[in-house]
Amino acid sequence: MKIIRSIREMTAYSKTQLAAGKSLGFVPTMGYLHDGHAALMQQAIRENDIVVVSSFVNPLQFGPNEDFERYPRDFARDEKVANDNGVDVVFYPEVREMYPDQPSVVLHVTKRVNALCGKTREGHFDGVATVLSKLFHLVSPTRAYFGMKDAQQVAVVQGLIKDLNFQVELVACPTVREEDGLAKSSRNVYLSPQERKEAPVLYRSLKVAAELLEKEKNITLVKEKMVEYVETETSGSVDYFEILSYPELEEVPFSGQTMIIALAVQFENARLIDNLLFTHNEREQ
């Protein structure tokens, strides 16, 4: 497995592989790899000749009061996870390599961001779109793999690829969960032992909401019930509990279209998100 740290080497490697007629799967990450990332790598390996994983904590997507410095980093761990999963290349640039100067161009996302996490994280998805545009140019992937745990990000990336005509296929992969249902996340390490016991309530609340929606078409009432449920059963505070159209992420009357049930809960030192896609009589498990 190769470790590439420079843009020049990354672009040269990709050009060589593509010129040889090989397909290239790409898994962009912010490192601190876990089983959720491993599932993305494994699917990419099944579907491509070469797989590249990037490990880069992107400062552009962190707000002034967010956890850029605290975001967990452990490259030795990342290298082992990638190697154990058969990855061909880990692209591991430093911030000064990706942003040698103050950017003169930063993309601005105008749709699918005024809800869920985007509502309170101004500029976050601008940073996501900007770094992914750079990475798509540098890696030139055939396919790019994203987890549905961050369904809003998947929706934004769909728009990015379509609007800027990137020649890459987006592959959205199911959320990987612990045995008790908690979505795997780099931020789970910040939960206290008691919070970790409570955290599976998040996924249970999504499933309960889906069951209620089969009987109760009043979306506002379902959301109110679920906020009360989560805040009664955990020590966390609900940031949002939303039921929206997907991937548009707009408030709509109850209908047979695909909808997303999503929540964010703030614990003492960790903010967790989760979601479930829902259509009448058919739920994503």
Contact status, residue 17 vs residue 23, Cβ threshold 8 Å: no
Residue carrying structure tokens 């969960």: 177
According to the annotation, is 150 in a ligand binding site? yes
According to the annotation, is 255 in a ligand binding site? no
Contact status, residue 114 vs residue 55, Cβ threshold 8 Å: no
Strand order from edge to edge, sheet including 143-147: 2-4, 89-91, 50-55, 24-29, 143-147, 169-173
Residue 266 and residue 191: Cα distance in Å, rounded? 10
Q: Of these residues, 37, 108, 124, 280, which one is catalytic?
A: 37
According to the annotation, is 124 in a ligand binding site? no
According to the annotation, is 187 in a ligand binding site? yes
The phi-psi region of residue 123 (left if phi > 0; otherwise alpha if psi is between -120 and 50; otherwise beta) is: left
- Residues 6 or more apart whose CB falls under 8 angstroms from that of 142 comprise 23, 24, 25, 48, 168, 169
According to the annotation, is 257 in a ligand binding site? no
According to the annotation, is 35 in a ligand binding site? yes
Range 4-12, long-range pairs (CB < 8 A, 24+ positions):
4/89, 4/90, 4/91, 4/92, 5/91, 5/92, 5/93, 5/94, 5/97, 6/93, 6/97, 7/93, 7/97, 7/98, 7/138, 10/52, 10/89, 10/91, 10/93, 10/138, 10/139, 11/138, 11/140
According to the annotation, is 185 in a ligand binding site? yes
Residues across the chain: 285
According to the annotation, is 37 in a ligand binding site? yes
According to the annotation, is 108 in a ligand binding site? no
According to the annotation, is 153 in a ligand binding site? yes
According to the annotation, is 32 in a ligand binding site? yes
According to the annotation, is 127 in a ligand binding site? no
Q: Is residue 37 flagged as an active site residue?
A: yes
According to the annotation, is 34 in a ligand binding site? yes
Annotated binding site for beta-alanine: 61
Annotated binding site: 30-37, 61, 147-150, 153, 176, 184-187
The catalytic residues are 37
Annotated binding site for (R)-pantoate: 61, 153
Annotated binding site for ATP: 30-37, 147-150, 176, 184-187
